[in-house]
Structure formats: C-alpha cells, structure tokens
Structure 1
Amino acid sequence: MTRSGPSKPSDARHGANRLIIARGFLESAKVQISSAQAGTLGNPIAATVVNAAIAYTDALTATFANKINQRAGSGNLHSGDKWNFCLTSA
C-alpha cells in the first residue's frame, strides 16, 4: 500500500522515537492479553494492537521515506488523499 498526501520531511530521530512508541504499544497489548480473563472485552486490546501497527508504520515511513504525516491524529481522510492498495502473494 502506498499513500500520497500531505506530509513533511522527518529525520532519523523521529523514526527511532516512533519505534520506541510502537514497542511500548506492543508490550502493552501483550500485557493486556496475558491478563485477560474469560469474558474480557477484546476491543481495548485490539485498539492497542492497531495503535502499535500504526506506530510501526510511522517508524518505517519516517526511517526509510524520511516523511511523516502532516495531519497525524486527525482521524479524518482529506479529499486530496490518495490510497493505492497493492495485493501481493506470499
């Protein structure tokens, strides 16, 4: 998947910081899963997993493309955003 839309340049430090955050989200999800009991609502755990995935993607983008999303955290797609999905087989 590739994305084109508003972005701004970033440095390697931003990617390293996002990786630390991603690892924190992942660790939190693991703790939530290990402490879950029968009947535990899974939505908060899933939300933490999604945040980890987003942070890992941010880390990769900042590190290898040297870009960060200019509207990070807005939760809304802008009409100017373009998403291209590529399916590949493993």
Structure 2
Amino acid sequence: MRTAVKIFGAVLLIIFLAAMTPEMLTSLATVTADVNIADYTLLEMVVNWAPALLWIGALGAVFFMVFNEVKMRRSGGASTSGGKSKKLR
C-alpha cells in the first residue's frame, strides 16, 4: 500500500510541476524584462536554464523515489518510511 502511495505522490509531483511551469515562465520573463536588471548577462543565462534544471531535478527525484520503492518491494524488505529494514536488525 505504501508503495502505491509513494508512486501516486511522484505522479502528483510531476502534475504539480507541469501546472506551475507557465506561471514560472511568466515570472522569469517579467524579471528579464525589467530595465534595471536586464543588463546582467549571467542573470539572463540563469533564467533561461532555470525551467530545464527544475524539470530535470524533479524528474530525477521522481525516478529515484519510484526506483527505491520498487526495489524495496521486490527485495521483500520494509519500506524506508515504515519501520526498520532487515539490515538494521
């Protein structure tokens, strides 16, 4: 049951990030359009790469969560969120 909840949580994380992406892109465009800070070249580079880095990080975290839960389920060990694992006993 806990595995299904964690996998469902991972899917919800992706849906949340997909829903927030347009707002994030609008905010980043507002920052780069400001006259006072538009001259900073490094800021423009960071703003251009930020959405891609957030997506890569979120997908990596989701993959890691799902992989660990499936691995623990297949090995027959206890989940890290529920009790002690066999190795710690």
Output the TM-score relative to the length of structure 2: 0.41
Considering only CA atoms, is the larger Rg found in Structure 1 or Structure 2?
2
Greater fraction of residues in strand: 1
Greater fraction of residues in helix: 2
